[in-house]
């Protein structure tokens, strides 16, 4: 699993990346009440806002950590957005993206690097 | 690089700031103060706790003042449209400070606290919004120069305790508050100090607002929190609670362009004052009362999709943009999006089907009656 400074995580299996927000991000947001996942077929560029997560208080963008084409959104989040809080780094995934440049994955932080980054925040 | 920009003066603190930090609050800048937006429980749990039990809020950033003078009640009527000459001792009244074109400078509460012996002078105890207070008191001072003296009570903290169990909690400490009803206000000994206490709040729930000397604030706050029915509640839940109660928030639903008629606050323009037409902007306001307004404030329930927040466009059934959301969010009680919005008056009827545009998507919404969640004010004891 790799991480961004915007608190997204990515797991790459073959050329498909599963993307979500980190446990830290979920904790900071508080109770998630609505999630908008990207449409299947949409092309995203690393750094683009590609999903939205909302708490009682505010809506926050989720940025694509990696470029590619969206192949699946997590439909469970439509009825059960609270899954993001309950299981942020697994069942609460947002979308799967068929990546165009796998080297982007290697450029992201690993967990020790992300945890060190959190210490600086 | 350290932020030394002159536009960012250091945040002010309330007498309770350290208590919030000790409770693990997340502190944010608000109205120039460092204020708790939430405690470790988070906005959702804090909101629901207040609706089910009792929530304790620090609102010390709000402006408290006493207005005195030869006849402060009649003088005060020169800046607000409410009947304050007719305000009975021991009562407070919600009103709006108006500019000369009938726009709202701020909304406020002003009352006549009675002493334990039932007496009351003709001074007014006024509470205004924190972000507006310096300008409000300047406007009042300018407009009423020579008629009233403003004594700002900056040495007092203000807290609100709200929810169905709030009254029992307060009454256990101060039995003399038990016979107060909604909008009663008294000055009395309580919590081992002197308090100005009103049965009111801004959540739609029963409860009290309690002004205490700054030096006593932490002790009273902690005393209230000792009761297991009471939890501290941050500004995040204060906002979602007032939204469910259909209550406007200054700077969002109200501003200097919005008249009280447009804002749906006609109850604050008393009948005798409408006839006298002697308040700022009376010409506009009386005309709006007779002929209607170009825009009307409505309560919208989002039927499907994301919550519509401040700034979201409102469209009619044909998709034509006709209005705007002035504040909106997620209702933990209704489990969906709710919003206050301006729409043309012909679309304000309850049941009207509209759209809210969120991130480019038109989502169905319906005009519903205010409030979204019923008020539970205690009007009889």
pLDDT tens digits, B161-170: 999 999 999 9
Cβ contacts of B359 on chain A, cutoff 8 Å: 36, 52
**Alpha-carbon span B124 to B120, nearest angstrom:** 10
Interface test with B, best of A57, A59, A80, A121 (most B CBs within 10 A): A57
**Alpha-carbon span B339 to B313, nearest angstrom:** 11
Inform me whether the C-beta atom of residue B199 falls under 8 Å from chain A C-beta atoms: no
Residue B202: pLDDT over 70: yes
> Residue B6 has what pLDDT?
52
Tell me if A59 and B309 make a contact (CB, 8 A cut-off): yes
Tell me if A31 and B43 make a contact (CB, 8 A cut-off): yes
Q: Sheet containing B207-213: which strands, arranged edge to edge?
A: B185-190, B193-198, B207-213, B156-162, B54-58, B230-232
Determine the distance from the C-alpha atom of residue B133 to the mean position of all C-alpha atoms in its chain, rounded to a whole number: 13
Inform me whether the C-beta atom of residue B307 falls under 8 Å from chain A C-beta atoms: yes
Answer yes or no: is A115 within a domain. no
pLDDT below 70 — which residues of chain A?
A: none
**8-state DSSP, B120:** -
**Alpha-carbon span B182 to B208, nearest angstrom:** 9
| Residues 6 or more apart whose Cβ sits within 8 Å of residue B100 | B280, B281
Which CATH number fits the domain B17-59+155-244, given the four candidates 3.40.190.80, 3.40.50.410, 3.30.1360.120, 3.30.300.130? Answer: 3.30.1360.120
Count of A-B CB contacts under 8 Å: 45
Inform me whether the C-beta atom of residue A14 falls under 8 Å from chain B C-beta atoms: no
Tell me if B77 sits within 8 A of B275, measured CB to CB.
no
**Alpha-carbon span A16 to A14, nearest angstrom:** 6
Determine the distance from the C-alpha atom of residue B305 to the mean position of all C-alpha atoms in its chain, rounded to a whole number: 29
Tell me if B16 sits within 8 A of B60, measured CB to CB.
yes
Q: Which two tokens stand for residue B161?
A: 């305790």
Tell me if B152 sits within 8 A of B64, measured CB to CB.
yes
Cβ contacts of A81 on chain B, cutoff 8 Å: none
> Residue B10 has what pLDDT?
92
Tell me if A34 and B306 make a contact (CB, 8 A cut-off): yes
Answer yes or no: is A31 within a domain. yes
Using 50, 70 and 90 to split pLDDT, how confident is the model at B7? low
Q: Which residue of B has its CA nearest to A27?
A: B42
The mean pLDDT of chain B is 96
Q: Which two tokens stand for residue B57?
A: 């809020």
For residue B47, what is the enclosing H or E element? helix B43-52
| Residues 6 or more apart whose Cβ sits within 8 Å of residue A65 | A2, A4, A6, A8, A9, A10, A17, A19, A46, A104, A108
List the one residue out of B352, B357, B294, B288 whose CA is nearest residue B328. Answer: B357
Span B82-110, pLDDT tens digits: 999 999 999 999 999 999 999 999 999 99
Q: Which residue of A has its CA nearest to B239?
A: A57
**Alpha-carbon span B32 to B319, nearest angstrom:** 40
What does the domain layout of chain B look like in residue ranges? 17-59+155-244, 294-368
Span B249-308, pLDDT tens digits: 999 999 999 999 999 999 999 999 999 999 999 999 999 999 999 999 999 999 999 999
Distances from the Cα of A78 to the Cα of A58, A92, A120, B174, angstroms: 17, 11, 34, 48
Q: Which two tokens stand for residue B315?
A: 């469209």
Tell me if B242 sits within 8 A of B339, measured CB to CB.
no
Span B117-154, pLDDT tens digits: 999 988 999 999 999 999 999 999 999 999 999 999 99
Q: Which of A34, A36, A52 lies nearest to residue B330, judging by beta carbons?
A: A34
Using 50, 70 and 90 to split pLDDT, how confident is the model at B45? very high
Task: Return the number of other C-beta atoms located less than 10 Å from residue B367's C-beta.
Answer: 21
Tell me if A9 sits within 8 A of A21, measured CB to CB.
yes
Q: How far apart are the first and last CA of chain B?
A: 59
List all residues of chain A from 30 to 89 with a beta carbon under 8 Å from chain B.
Answer: 30-31, 33-34, 36, 52, 54-59
**Alpha-carbon span B365 to B143, nearest angstrom:** 43
> Residue B2 has what pLDDT?
44
Tell me if B239 sits within 8 A of B309, measured CB to CB.
no
Residue B4: pLDDT over 80: no
Task: Give me the CATH number covering residue A28.
Answer: 2.40.50.100
Tell me if A56 and B240 make a contact (CB, 8 A cut-off): yes
> Residue B67 has what pLDDT?
98
**Alpha-carbon span B376 to A66, nearest angstrom:** 51
pTM above 0.80, yes or no: yes
Q: How many residues would you count in chain B? A: 381
**Alpha-carbon span B331 to B288, nearest angstrom:** 32
Tell me if B59 sits within 8 A of B160, measured CB to CB.
yes
Tell me if B44 and A33 make a contact (CB, 8 A cut-off): yes
Q: For residue B43, give how far its alpha carbon lies from the nearest alpha carbon of chain A (Å).
A: 7
**Alpha-carbon span B235 to B202, nearest angstrom:** 12
Q: Which two tokens stand for residue B193?
A: 């100090």
Cβ contacts of A31 on chain B, cutoff 8 Å: 42-45
> Residue A4 has what pLDDT?
97
Determine the distance from the C-alpha atom of residue B1 to the mean position of all C-alpha atoms in its chain, rounded to a whole number: 38
Answer yes or no: is A95 within a domain. yes
Q: Which CATH class is domain B294-368?
A: mainly beta
Q: For residue A37, give how far its alpha carbon lies from the nearest alpha carbon of chain B (Å).
A: 12
For residue B97, what is the enclosing H or E element? strand B92-98
Q: What is the three-class DSSP state of B366?
A: strand
The count of domains in chain A is 1
Long-range contacts, B147-150 (Cβ 8 Å, 24+): B147/B69, B147/B70, B147/B71, B147/B72, B147/B75, B147/B78, B148/B67, B148/B68, B148/B69, B148/B72, B148/B75, B148/B76, B149/B67, B149/B68, B149/B69, B150/B65, B150/B66, B150/B67
Using 50, 70 and 90 to split pLDDT, how confident is the model at B3? very low
Q: Which of A34, A36, A56 lies nearest to residue B44, judging by beta carbons?
A: A56
**Alpha-carbon span A58 to B36, nearest angstrom:** 16
Interface test with B, best of A30, A53, A60 (most B CBs within 10 A): A30
**Alpha-carbon span A47 to A6, nearest angstrom:** 9
Tell me if A37 sits within 8 A of A77, measured CB to CB.
yes
């Amino acid at each position: 699993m790799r991480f961004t400074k915007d608190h997204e995580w990515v797991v790459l299996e073959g050329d498909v990346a599963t993307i979500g927000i980190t446990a830290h991000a979920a904790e900071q947001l508080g109770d998630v009440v609505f999630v908008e996942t990207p449409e299947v077929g949409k092309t995203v560029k690393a750094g683009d806002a590609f999903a939205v997560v909302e708490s009682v208080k505010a809506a926050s963008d989720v940025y694509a950590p990696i470029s590619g084409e969206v192949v699946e959104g997590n439909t469970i989040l439509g009825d059960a957005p609270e899954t993001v809080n309950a299981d942020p780094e697994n069942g609460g995934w947002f979308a799967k993206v068929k990546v165009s440049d796998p080297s982007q994955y290697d450029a992201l932080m690993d967990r020790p690097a992300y945890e060190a980054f959190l210490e600086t925040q | 690089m350290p932020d030394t920009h002159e536009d960012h003066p250091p945040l002010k603190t309330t007498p309770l700031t350290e208590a919030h930090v000790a409770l693990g609050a997340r502190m944010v800048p608000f109205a120039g103060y460092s204020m708790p937006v939430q405690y470790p429980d988070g906005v959702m749990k804090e909101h629901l706790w207040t609706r089910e039990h009792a929530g304790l809020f620090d609102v010390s950033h709000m402006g408290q003042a006493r207005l005195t003078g030869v006849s402060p009640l009649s003088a005060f009527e020169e800046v607000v449209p409410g009947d304050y000459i007719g305000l009975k001792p021991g009562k407070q009244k919600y009103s709006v400070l108006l500019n000369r074109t009938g726009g709202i400078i701020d909304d406020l509460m002003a009352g006549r606290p009675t002493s334990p012996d039932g007496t009351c002078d003709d001074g007014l105890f006024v509470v205004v919004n924190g972000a507006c207070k310096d300008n409000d008191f300047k406007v009042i001072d300018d407009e009423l120069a020579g008629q009233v003296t403003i004594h700002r009570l900056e040495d007092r903290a203000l807290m609100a305790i709200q929810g169905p169990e709030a009254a029992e909690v307060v009454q256990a400490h101060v039995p003399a508050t038990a016979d107060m009803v909604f909008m009663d206000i008294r000055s009395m000994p309580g919590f081992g100090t002197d308090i100005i206490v009103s049965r009111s709040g801004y959540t739609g729930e029963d409860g009290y607002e309690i002004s205490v000397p700054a030096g006593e604030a932490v002790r009273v706050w902690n005393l209230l929190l000792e009761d297991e029915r009471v939890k501290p509640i941050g500004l995040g839940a204060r906002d979602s609670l007032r939204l469910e109660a259909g209550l406007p928030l200054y700077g969002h639903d109200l501003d200097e362009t919005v008249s009280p008629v447009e804002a749906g606050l006609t109850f604050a323009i008393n009948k005798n004052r409408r006839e006298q037409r002697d308040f700022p902007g009376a010409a506009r306001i009386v005309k709006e009362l007779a002929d209607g307004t170009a825009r009307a404030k409505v309560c919208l329930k989002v039927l499907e999709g994301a919550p519509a927040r401040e700034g979201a466009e409102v469209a009619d059934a044909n998709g034509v943009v006709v209005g705007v959301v002035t504040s909106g969010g997620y209702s933990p009680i209704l489990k969906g999006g709710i919003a206050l919005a301006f729409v043309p008056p012909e679309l304000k009827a309850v049941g009207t089907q509209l759209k809210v545009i969120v991130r480019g998507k038109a989502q169905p919404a319906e005009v519903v009656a205010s409030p979204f969640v019923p008020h539970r004010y205690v009007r009889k004891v």
